[in-house]
Chains A and B, each alone.
Chain A
């Protein structure tokens, strides 16, 4: 009998057009193609040409359609009518919105620009927003970096002139040993996955080992060749024990150290004196090293130098000095850092630490290899080389390291380990992503010194910078902070990214001074991005009983969606979605380049907004023009960028020839990096898939800290001003300068109350100390670490509004190890109180194997406030989902004088999310089933639609099928 098969149309019509742009379902910035049909999005896929994602796309990226159609999208500017926090608004037009905003901002600018605090969250417009703050004249600007990962940035920039995070990547192609510290997902979401796929897919003769150091075994750790379930906050111990082992066995690259780091630089040994611990320098300020043959001090970096790494020497002026290398060796060879000594505290047995050290050394030295360079490369001393020596050990680290109060030093220890192995920017090691490396630390200082903040005056530079010493802090004569978040003060001297997590608290407390308007963009500060959530909501709504006015008088907020923060603003400036606007992923912000090439990109509008919303960048430029901010207007006071952000992207220049975008510059678009403006620049980007990429010359792809070919190219591109080698900072002199200040030297000294803290934590060599919360509270009371991880399929709070993504996860559990479960007599699904020194939160548990014994954890930002994001108030996100943020305090326990430091790293001000200590208390039966604390249901802002009860997206794309049978 002949079979008849139903007819299948295997070649249906798919799309009328394909529009390239850049994804923004997270900050990874993948290239996407939006396939349009009948004016609607048929589907989105990855752009195969794009340097970031090479055609792949993550779960969030593929779910873009559902964000574009989310009922939670804000629809028009809103003005608060009810009490703050109640969520009662009136829809207003844009003219009224601008009038309200200028009504608040103009007087501030004319009297005291500091009274504007402008803070931005997960945005990618920091080149614009920081510039805008500069034009306004307020130092009170920062993006989210301070609560995110500034420890990584600061430790990296002050050590190697680059960093993990978005500033560097492993050499996926060549590495044989890859260690990943504390990464669940990271910003380089797709690149890391692509890299790991490559690494694990290597043929047997070139197999690489992938080690994940993480208290939890999920995600990347699940596919690691070895998982090391470290106790949170102890990576420093582990890394220093590895250093101990390598030193002990002489498995370090002395030549690399001597040549590229400050290991040989002589450190003055003059205890108690103002020069103690600083580098010995010649009359030109050049650091000195000891010439082994000539037996005299010579300037570092001489081609004929034979610098000694050991030995105490006496300088011509009689002072005694030792190479920093020797100080370093002395520290880490101490039995204090022996594997046996750290094993218990880190939860990693000594044998494992020793084995890992042996494996690392084996990969670095036995598996060393040379990569031929076609055109040879020239080092900064003029030496020419036909090869790059490769040491195929690479490392990568993120928030598991950074979100601790000891994160800065831990991260510096990691960079030190890399230096000792000679694996920074070498084949198989860690690679910079241009425009990095930059000098270490980069020369730009922060702006906002007392004399710089004046009415109606722009700051001389953007607010954030890289203090080179205590004299560069933003403090007044009494050492009091000049910034509202206390960044760059003695509380957090190297707070390079500001301290967004302290703004609300400080503004509420009027400490160091009250402000008038808090202006925020893309940061859900009343929920998942705050510590002490309940307290934050109280502070946002608190009134001064004397005046009856809110303590934070005005709050302006730009969001695109109905987030938890919306209810707490007085004026809402609704943004477009990422598919409705131009954006600029500029080299002036965080780069999307990779080890081999430099790149930047844009977004272009794909869909027309169906609401009365405007791109925030346009709004900011418009507002700037209305406020007559210097950069925003022409001489004749007309708006400088009437075309909004696209206009700015093309026509704004930081300095002549350097603008937001590096591609297709010059009148005919023939120039790259630097060059005159090109009015057709955006068209060129759009035609090229919305990105620009150019390869680094072959000879400039490694050893870039001292690679003349690279540095010359980078000067040409405008990344740096001149060819100048970068010295890897094994020993950090800027830190020592702070320490000296604390010890009573110099003009800029901390107030007495801060001396001890500064002295302790500004150690020029990395050291380990217990995270502050662990040190402050009794282990018996709070025996467990509680941490979060990002789910790969959700982006912070904003993934949940997505109808598809939320089906993957509507609620989170607290994961506890078998041992902890046994101790507490817990079964799967039981509810517990998670009790911290600050507060408590109720959660259901799940028992698992792959977690460090002293650790409990949960997925981040799944818990939602009832009503928010246009979800049903009884949605599991609000009824069962919970945040650890409720139990994290933004402040450390009070010091003797009652002062409470921020719960942050003492060097960088990095928020210490993962220092959290808790105990578990099993819930009574009647307590189970619902999380707590819960907060009043937020009403849907006026104008937002009732969400659909049934979603049939795509139904209209299905052509009526002809039901022919074919034989």
Chain B
């Protein structure tokens, strides 16, 4: 069933990632690897793990970039990249076997591994590089939105969030229903001006990114002035010590 759901629910589960505070620590990437290694899509095979060219399957990768706006305002931005669970993802529609599918009930995009022939076409169709091929198993793998955690009755309620969300030390990752305008994360997206990645391509990502907020490195931004005023003009000798000491005396004796 690689046609997109004809009667999708309004539920659109996804992640919101705050680039304003992501410090690029890779915690989410490794937590994802760890959970999923034994989870729905596990193992996430690692080739030559101790060799010259280690290469394994990961569902979440953290990049860093330097950004310039041409006016000397430069910045470093960390950018975690995983499946965006797009609303109209070609990774699903290109799949010849029905292995790649989008769940009608919550919009999660998954691969049914036992249907997958490993043609890799879905990974070509994903603009975001969210799919990684497991050459040992001959099948495509990808972020599951931790579908085996978020509904899992064998876990405590508090644990039913994606692994990458619960580990993030700065709380830059949020999980929830983006189809519901009133959900916490929808509000967050609205408040912070969350954006789609590569909207040009029309995949309508569910996951949203909160862009870094402008830096506050100019005068006045905290309410302070550009510099402090002298207590009193310097002495005749140019010394600031004595006016200062006089000021101290005055303050203390007040």
Whether A850 contacts B231 by the Cβ 8 Å rule is no
Within 8 A of B (CB), among A187-231: 189-190, 193-194, 196-197, 200-201, 209, 217-227
How near does chain B come to A15, taking the closest CB pair, in angstroms? 8
Q: Are B30 and A220 in contact (CB under 8 A)?
A: no
Find out whether the CB atom of A362 lies under 8 angstroms from the CB atom of B223: yes
Interface of B, helix, strand, loop or mixed by DSSP? loop
Residue of B with least CB distance to A33: B159
For chain A, residues 820 to 875, give those with C-beta under 8 angstroms from any C-beta of chain B: 848-850, 870-872, 874-875
Could you tell me if B30 and A62 are in contact, using CB atoms closer than 8 angstroms? yes
B88 within 8 A of A: no
Shortest distance in angstroms between A564's beta carbon and chain B's nearest beta carbon? 16
Contact stretch, chosen from A107-115, A144-152, A242-250, A489-497: A242-250
Among A5, A56, A245, which residue has its beta carbon within 8 angstroms of that of B169? A56
Size category of the B interface is 35 or more
Q: Which residues does chain B contribute within 8 Å of A59, judged by CB atoms?
A: 25-27, 29-31
With A849-B74, A957-B42: A250-B251 Cβ-Cβ less than 8 Å: yes
Q: In this assembly, does A952 line the interface, its C-beta being within 8 Å of a C-beta of chain B?
A: yes
Q: B98 within 8 Å of A by Cβ?
A: yes
**Complex-state Cα separation, A367 to B252, whole angstroms:** 22
Contacts of B1 in A (CB 8 A): 3-6
Contact with A along B12-33 (1 / 0, CB 8 A): 0000000011111111011101
Residue of B5, B48, B52, B151 near A3 (CB, 8 A) is B5
Which residue of the partner chain, among B212, B230, B252, contacts A292 with CB atoms under 8 Å? B252
Knowing A219-B24, A250-B251, the reply to whether A355 touches B219 (Cβ < 8 A) is yes
**Stretch with Cβ within 8 A of B (4 or more), from A39-47, A134-142, A433-441, A718-726:** A39-47
Which of the 9-residue segments A657-665, A770-778, A798-806 touches chain B?
A798-806
Contact with A along B92-124 (1 / 0, CB 8 A): 000000110101100000101011000000000
Partner of B45 from the list A196, A329, A359, A950 (CB cut-off 8 Å) is: A950
Query: In the docked arrangement, what's the CA distance between A592 and B51, Å?
Result: 37
Which residues, 238 to 254 on B, are CB-close (under 8 Å) to A? 238-241, 244-245, 247-249, 251-253
B76 touches A221 (CB 8 A): yes
Contacting residues, chain B, for A222 (C-beta < 8 A): 23-24, 64, 75-78
CB-nearest residue of chain B relative to A198?
A: B171
Q: In the bound complex, do residue B169 and residue A309 qualify as a contact, i.e. CB atoms below 8 Å apart?
A: no
Do A12 and B39 touch (CB < 8 A)? yes
Contact B43 A958 (CB under 8 A): yes
B46 within 8 A of A: yes
Across the interface, B228 reaches (CB within 8 A) one of A219, A251, A309, A954, namely A251
Q: A249-B231, A308-B252 are in contact. Are A951 and B76 (CB under 8 A)?
A: no
Contacts A5-B103, A9-B148, A48-B158 given; indicate if A245 touches B52 (C-beta within 8 A): no
Query: By the criterion CB–CB under 8 Å, are A8 and B103 in contact?
Result: yes
Residue in A209, A245, A849, A948 whose CB lies within 8 Å of B49: A948
Q: What are the interface flags for B37-59 relative to A under an 8 Å C-beta threshold, 1 for contact and 0 otherwise?
A: 11110111111111110111010
**What separation, in Å, do the CA atoms of A5 and B5 have in the docked complex?**
9
Which residues of chain A are near B77, meaning CB under 8 Å?
Answer: 222
B33 touching A804, Cβ below 8 Å: yes
Find out whether the CB atom of A225 lies under 8 angstroms from the CB atom of B215: yes
Q: Which A residues from 360 to 379 make CB contacts under 8 A with B? A: 361-363, 366-367
> In the complex, A393→B85 CA distance in Å?
42
Contact of B226 among A6, A10, A358, A947 (CB under 8 A): A358
**Cβ of B42 to closest chain A Cβ, rounded Å:** 4
Q: Which residue of chain B is the closest to A793 with respect to CB atoms?
A: B26
Task: Give the CA-CA distance A333 to B31 in the complex, in Å.
Answer: 52
Chain B CB within 10 A, most for which of A227, A329, A363, A954: A954
A896 at the interface (CB under 8 A from B): no
A197 touches B248 (CB 8 A): no
The complex places the Cα of A326 from the Cα of B224 at a distance, in Å, of: 28
Most buried by A among B24, B150, B249: B24
Separation of A100 and B230 alpha carbons in the complex (Å): 71
**A810 adjacent to B49 (CB under 8 Å):** no
Is A876 within 8 A of B21, CB to CB? no
Q: How far is the CA of A222 from the CA of B66 in the complex (A)?
A: 9
| Docked complex: B123-182 residues within 8 A CB-CB of A | 136, 147-148, 150-155, 158-159, 163, 166-172
Nearest Cβ on chain A to B253's Cβ, whole angstroms = 7
**Contact across chains for B147 and A250 when beta carbons are under 8 A apart:** no
Which residues of B50-88 have CB atoms within 8 Å of chain A's CB atoms?
50-52, 54-56, 58, 64, 66, 68, 74-78
Please, how many angstroms separate the alpha-carbon atoms of A821 and B229 in the complex? Answer: 41
Contacts A355-B226, A950-B47, A954-B43: A218 and B24 contacting too (C-beta < 8 A)? yes
A224–B247 Cα distance when bound, in Å, is: 35
Contact partners of A218 in chain B: CB under 8 A: 24, 64, 76
Contact of B51 among A190, A358, A949, A954 (CB under 8 A): A949
User: Which residue, of B56, B152, B159, B167, has the highest number of chain A Cβ atoms within 10 A?
Assistant: B167
Question: Given A5-B103, A218-B76, A248-B228, are A226 and B5 neighbors across the interface (CB < 8 Å)?
Answer: no
Residue-wise, chain A 326-361 has the 8 Å CB interface mask toward B (1 for contact) of: 100110010100000000000000010011011101
Q: In the complex the two chains form, is B24's CB within 8 Å of A792's CB?
A: yes
Interface flags for A50-90 (1: CB within 8 Å of B; 0: not) read 00010111111111010000010000000000000000000
Q: Which of B30, B40, B168 contacts A805 (CB 8 A)?
A: B30
Does A547 interact with chain B (Cβ within 8 Å)? Answer: no
A193, A330, A335: most-surrounded residue (chain B CB, <10 A): A193
CB pair B166 A55 closer than 8 Å? yes
Decide if B43 touches A955 in the complex (CB within 8 Å). yes
Cβ of A655 within 8 Å of any chain B Cβ, yes or no, is no
Q: Report if A6-B30 is in contact (Cβ < 8 Å); known contacts: A248-B230, A362-B223.
A: no
| B209 at the A interface (CB under 8 A) | no
Chain B residues, Cβ within 8 Å of A687: none
CB distance from B236 to the nearest CB of A (A): 15
> Chain B residues near A8 (CB, 8 Å)?
40, 103, 110, 147
Query: Whole-angstrom distance between the alpha carbons of A848 and B37 in the complex?
Result: 35
> What are 20 sample pairs from A and B whose C-beta atoms fall under 8 A apart?
A3-B7, A6-B112, A9-B40, A10-B148, A46-B166, A55-B166, A56-B166, A60-B30, A62-B30, A196-B23, A306-B252, A329-B248, A351-B227, A358-B224, A807-B49, A807-B58, A948-B49, A951-B43, A952-B136, A954-B43
The 8 closest A-B pairs by CB, nearest first: A362-B224, A954-B37, A197-B170, A249-B228, A193-B169, A954-B38, A957-B38, A6-B112
Question: Which residues of B approach A to under 8 Å, CB–CB?
Answer: 1, 3, 5-7, 20-27, 29-31, 33-40, 42-52, 54-56, 58, 64, 66, 68, 74-78, 98-99, 101, 103-104, 110, 112, 114-115, 136, 147-148, 150-155, 158-159, 163, 166-172, 212, 215-217, 219, 221-231, 238-241, 244-245, 247-249, 251-253
Residues of A within 8 A of B (CB): 1, 3-6, 8-15, 37, 42-46, 48, 53, 55-63, 65, 71, 176-177, 189-190, 193-194, 196-197, 200-201, 209, 217-227, 245-251, 254, 258, 292, 306, 308-311, 325-326, 329-330, 333, 335, 351, 354-355, 357-359, 361-363, 366-367, 792-793, 803-808, 810, 848-850, 870-872, 874-876, 879, 947-955, 957-958, 961, 963
